[in-house]
Amino acid sequence: MPNDTQFLDSIAAVIGVDAVLTGVAAAPYGKDWRGRYATEALAVVFPSDTQQVSAVVKLCAANKISIVPQGGNTSLCGGSVPLAGSIKQIIINLSRMNRIRELDATNYTMTVEAGCKLGSLYAAPEAADRMFPLGLTAIAPHCEIGGNLSTNAGGLNVLRYGPARDLVLGLEVVLPDGRIWDGLRSLRKNNSGYDLKQLFIGAEGTLGIITAAVVKLFPRPKSTATACIAVRHPAAAVALLAHLRAHCGDKISAFELISRSCLDLVFKHISETHEPFAIKHEWLVITQLTDVLPAPLDAPLRFALNTFGSGIIEFEVTANKDDAERWWKLRKGIAEAQKAEGLSIKHDISVPVSRVAEFIAQASANLRTAFPGIRIVAFGHMGDGNIHYNPSMPDAAHNKTFIAQHEHEVQRIVYDVVASLDGSISAEHGVGQLKREEITRHKSALEMELMRSIKHTLDPQGIMNPGKVV
């Protein structure tokens, strides 16, 4: 068995000395985006193509060295950084694999490598009058499509286009033994056996490394209307969504709920943001209609809002892109504002859309009983039942101690409410190492057995992203 230096020399011989970082140069890649985890790896390696990934994985398998796949390292659950402990791990960072291999405008597909930044995948389809709809918020300039697929990312447009799982037709994956599965098919219909790609989407790199994908494109919208709406409470927002869907159909592409605590943080930490109304409101909704037809949408949106009833306090509608972006900045700035404020106890939950208001009311009441004065930052994708629900102390200086002493209790309170409403403790951020133990409380013994069986079948040595998910 070679020593660590010999092992890293073997990797450098395959991918180049400049593509292997160790020591101080590698340290930033062991820290997660939130600043929650910081662990060292033997090295960070940067393969430039699938064959190099395969070669590196084969070396790791032969030497029983564990692998942490990494893209933009924007995981919010510690899924893209090494696990603390004595286990030997390397990070395989895919950022150099950033080519768009093909864009087929007629088939409405695009074949992309895993290291493509999500933001870079918007311009190429737009030039062909197409759109890739996976729309995240604060991390969009940094995250990469491989990571988005590995966590089944959702974002702002799930209501109309679905999460990452619904946007993929084919994958290329390097398996834990280094073999390459070429599943880069661009077919809408293919019932010739198990849909293997779905094993790897949402698996957080525990079954293999996604190196490329065929993603769906859609017609580029020709008309847009956006509304900023002050609602009386979350229950009114739930009813409003049902009302808009009845009147506007699938033209609704986004429906986001924002609480006052979110707005206060955004105004504190994000420049050039302002109250959308003269009066401060406790709850806002930002919703957007889009259509491929050029007919204006502001009038039908305004009509639908005017016919809703007393749940709306006031609203504004615009078809102007700059005006809409000022409202969207309030939503997109929340994650960055929270990061600037300090750590919080993050929850990325989903419940049936009809029960979102019930979740917020029950979880908030239970937390405030247990921890008087606690601040609850609640926001997110109400259109698909996904709420980001993040408690903390109002004074950021007290957060570290509060989290160290009470995180487990806070999580139990929140997740017990989620379970009572038939929800999920992870909607789009994944499980990572943060929720690995918690999922055993919310999945049946049979589900866990099946997941572990799949893991063992594909990764019998357990070298792929150890300590994450299962």
| Mean pLDDT, rounded, for 186-196 | 95
The CATH number, out of the four listed (3.40.50.170, 3.30.43.10, 3.40.50.2300, 2.60.40.1120), of the domain defined by the range 4-93: 3.30.43.10
CA 446 to chain centre: 27
- Pair type for strands 130-131 and 168-174: unpaired
Q: Which two tokens stand for residue 214?
A: 């065929």
Domain spanning 342-435, CATH class: alpha beta
pLDDT of residue 410: 96
Q: What is the mean pLDDT of the chain?
A: 94
With tokens 């032969």, the residue in question is 62
> 342-435: same fold as 100-219?
no
For residue 212, pLDDT beyond 90: yes
Predicted pLDDT at 139: 63
pTM above 0.85, yes or no: yes
Of 53-57, 101-105, 110-114, 440-444, which range is least confident? Answer: 440-444
Non-local (6+) Cβ contacts of 240 within 8 A are 229, 231, 285, 308, 311, 312
Q: Which of 103-107, 139-143, 184-188, 231-235 has the lowest mean pLDDT?
A: 139-143
Q: Is the pLDDT of residue 463 over 90?
A: yes
pLDDT at 3 over 80: yes
Asked whether the predicted pLDDT for residue 136 surpasses 90, the reply is no
CATH topology of domain 223-335: Alpha-Beta Plaits (3.30.70)
CATH architecture of 100-219: 2-Layer Sandwich (3.30)
- The 10s digit of each residue's pLDDT in 300-338 is 999 999 999 899 999 999 999 999 999 999 999 998 999
For the chain, domain boundaries = 4-93, 100-219, 223-335, 342-435
Roughly what angle, to the nearest 10 degrees, separates helices 260-269 and 321-332? Answer: 100
Cβ pair 215, 109 in contact under 8 A:
yes
Q: Pick 167 or 429 by higher pLDDT.
A: 167
How confident is the model over 107-122, as a mean pLDDT?
96
Task: Say what the pLDDT of residue 467 is.
Answer: 93
d(CA 37, CA 81): 8
